[in-house]
Structure 1
Amino acid sequence: MRDFDAVVFDMDGVIFDSERAVLDSWYVVADRHDLGDITEAFLACTGVNDRETKQIMLRYYGEDFPYDEYAREASVIFHEKYDGGKLPMKSGVKEILTFLKDSGKKIALASSTRRPVVEAELRDAGLLDFFDELVTGDVVKRSKPDPEIYLLACEKIGVAPERCYAIEDSYNGVRSAAGGSLRPIMVPDLLPANDEMKSLVETVQESLLDVIGYLKAE
């Protein structure tokens, strides 16, 4: 097995197939309000917290864009469809968490999502007890791509960043992990691994099952 002490996971797009679910919810809102194709704006927001998402959307649509109203609409659509354990998990989630737990590795979460949502989604999926620590977007001052959230996760589990892998799907998440001197592994979701990402990560893997194979390698 490779030499490491912990793995810090992003959540949306890594553990849950939730970024597509959120995008689909925003498509409904965009259709209701004639916003046109919001895909580019949405992808620019992947990996960041609520505050930064709002700022990005205002840059795309103007300062008078009623972001809070539309975000509430999208949230209602999302939660009506996916609450109660209906949010789809990415392939290999339980397998990699079980592998890490059985191997005695620390497991943390560094998600830009608010803690109540993170806890509810992990609990509904039966995953909450796998994690030693959760660090969420509402407890840090600076959103990804700043490394603050990853450095705080490492501090909470008592492991040096250089001894931690970070599993990410978004560009901002990879930048955050790399900036904190963790060892990023990218498992692409909505966005492919471009040249910048390939220069920042230790490896790009197609799925969490592939990540298990990578971590097991000598």
Structure 2
Amino acid sequence: MTTRDFDAVVFDMDGVIFDSERAIMDCWKELANKYNISNVEENFYKCIGVTVAKTKEIMLDAYGEDFPYDEYDVEANQIFHDKYSGGRLPMKEGIKEILSFLKNSGKKIALASSTGKTKVEAQLRDASILEYFDVLICGDMVKRSKPAPDIYLKACEELGVEPERAYAIEDSYNGIRSANAGKLRPIMVPDILPADDEMKEKAEKVLDSLIDVKEYLAEAI
């Protein structure tokens, strides 16, 4: 048994499995142009890795309590649906390879996504990768959003593994903070936001792609 031996891997979804952070941001930028919403990209960055409820809180704080967030969110979701539903959402390179590798190696696999369960299941099913996951923990299943550790701790509990024996694959700052606070072993694969000094300190490793993650984990088996 090596010091890096592990029992499970818990994946974030948006920005890790799917190239969806950019897709979502593009939908909001389209709304920003239509309704003349200022600084939408800057405020979107603050929402990466958090639940819908927390996103609304951030946007109302940025634009005021009278900001029609719910209406805009419905419209943004419709734009997203029109462009990417039915399996059209692009996946990150190497995701099927790493999922197959983990499954064939007898490792448990979970998802810890701030996105709601209905959308999570639909996107994973459309991408034909739902069957790889032993457990799905979603944003509407926990009280506290990332960076609180709740979602990762619940994933480990449902898997029946100790957090210290689980890797967490994340792209967002709040996701890395969440996994680190839960005592998992975070690996950051940066998407929109680069790894800063805090992320390098809190993550066990920062890697460029899921292919690199697969190779890194293979060394521990």
1:187 aligned partner: 189
Give the counterpart of 2:39 among 32, 37, 40: 37
Counterpart of 1:217? 219
Deviation at 1:87, TM superposition (A): 0.2
Q: Name the amino acid aligned to 1:92.
A: G
Aligned to 2:22: 20
Residue of structure 1 in register with 2:144 after alignment: 142
1:172 aligns with 2:178: no
Partner of 2:155: 153
Please give the alpha-carbon distance, in whole angstroms, between the structure 2 residues aligned to 1:214 and 1:40. Answer: 33
The DSSP-based 3-state class of the residue aligned with 2:74 is helix
CA distance in 2, matches of 1:40, 1:101: 38
CA distance in 2, matches of 1:149, 1:212: 23
Q: CA deviation at 1:37?
A: 3.4
Q: What is the alpha-carbon distance in structure 2 between the residues aligned to residue 60 and residue 25 of structure 1?
A: 18
Structure 2: segments with no counterpart, 5+ residues: none
State the secondary structure of the residue aligned to 1:210: helix
2: CA distance, partners of 1:58 / 1:145:
19
The residue matched to 1:26 in structure 2 has which SS? helix
C-alpha distance in 1 between matches for 2:32 and 2:107: 43
* Structure 1 position 54 matched with structure 2 position 56: yes
In structure 2, C-alpha distance between the alignment counterparts of 1:91 and 1:208, rounded to whole Å: 7
Distance in 1 (CA, whole Å) between partners of 2:178 and 2:58 is: 17
Percentage identity across paired residues of the two chains: 65
Matched residue, 1:81: 83
> Could you say what secondary structure the match of 1:165 adopts?
strand
- Separation in 1, partners of 2:158, 2:193: 30
- Name the amino acid aligned to 2:97: E
Give the RMSD, CA atoms, in angstroms: 0.8
State the 1:63 CA deviation.
Answer: 1.2
Query: Which residue identity lines up with residue 132 of structure 1 in the other structure?
Result: D
CA deviation profile, 1:117-138 (whole Å, cap 9, x unmatched): 0000000000000000000000
Within 2, Cα distance between the matches of 1:157 and 1:128? 16
Q: Give distance in 2, aligned partners of 1:45 and 1:37.
A: 13
Which amino acid is 1:188 matched to?
Answer: P
Residue identity in the other structure for 1:88: P
Report the more deviating stretch, 32-41 or 72-81. 32-41
1:113 deviates by 0.3
Aligned residues: 218
Structure 2: how far apart are the matches of 1:215 and 1:84? Answer: 31
Amino acid in the other structure paired with 2:196:
N
Runs of 5+ consecutive residues of structure 1 not aligned to the other structure: none
TM-score normalised to structure 2 length: 0.97
